[in-house]
Amino acid sequence: MVNDLHGKPSWQHQLSVADSSGSWHNACTPHSDGTSTAMLVPGREQGDGTIDHDATAFAITCTSGASAQQDFEAGWGPAGAVCVRHVRVKNNVTLEQLEAHYPALRGRVGVVCTEAFARAQGALVFNRSDPSGAAP
């Protein structure tokens, strides 16, 4: 626990993700102070920039912050992605390649993948990213 900008206690979390080799690494890039943690933010940002203050909704934000407008990217269940709306880095993989490599995603990529669709497929976690697909 650390104090936020207003001096109030704030829970910070380290998030790990596995890469294609199975190696785990921190999901957040380092902030200027060197921390690589995430925090829960109440509500959910909508496409028009407003916040939905649904009491059950939250977003996970890295302490390094968001560098661009972020749109819904994918929904995740216990066994992995249930659908993918857009790829995070276009130079790494296309939606078509995801479908070919992960048969469970066939018919579940692109515009069909909305938060409501992901929820209906069992998603428990929803992530957002820059829809341009530019490399960080």
Domain termination residue (choose one: 65, 89, 109)? 65
Confidence at residue 57, expressed as pLDDT on a 0 to 100 scale: 58
- The answer on 118 and 107 residing in a single domain is yes
Query: Do residues 23 and 54 share a domain?
Result: yes
- Please indicate, yes or no, whether residues 51 and 89 belong to a single structural domain of this protein: no
Residues 104 and 84 in one domain: yes
Do 56 and 18 share a structural domain?
A: yes
Q: How many CA atoms lie within 13 A of 66 on its CB side?
A: 15
Angle at 82 between CA 79 and CA 85, to 5 degrees: 145
What average pLDDT is seen over the chain?
A: 77
Domain boundary among the residues 65, 90, 111 is at: 65
**Per-residue pLDDT at 68:** 47
Q: How many domains does the chain have?
A: 2
Q: Which of 40, 65, 90 is the last residue of a domain?
A: 65
Rounded to an integer, what is the distance from CA 15 to the centroid of its chain?
11
Least confidently predicted of 63-67, 78-82, 84-88: 63-67
129 shares a domain with 83: yes
Q: For position 33, what pLDDT does the model report?
A: 72
| Single pTM value for the model | 0.56
pLDDT at 84 over 90: yes
Same structural domain, 74 and 136: yes
Are 130 and 86 members of one domain?
yes
Number of neighbours of residue 54 by Cβ within 10 angstroms: 10
High-pLDDT (> 70) share of the chain, %: 68
Same domain, yes or no: 51 and 91: no
- Domain enclosing residue 133, as ranges: 68-136
Looking at the structure, tell me whether residues 60 and 81 fall in a common domain.
no
Q: Is the pLDDT of residue 11 over 60?
A: yes
More confident call, 87 vs 10: 87
User: Phi/psi of residue 7, each to 5°?
Assistant: 80, 10
Co-location of 55 and 88 in the same domain: no
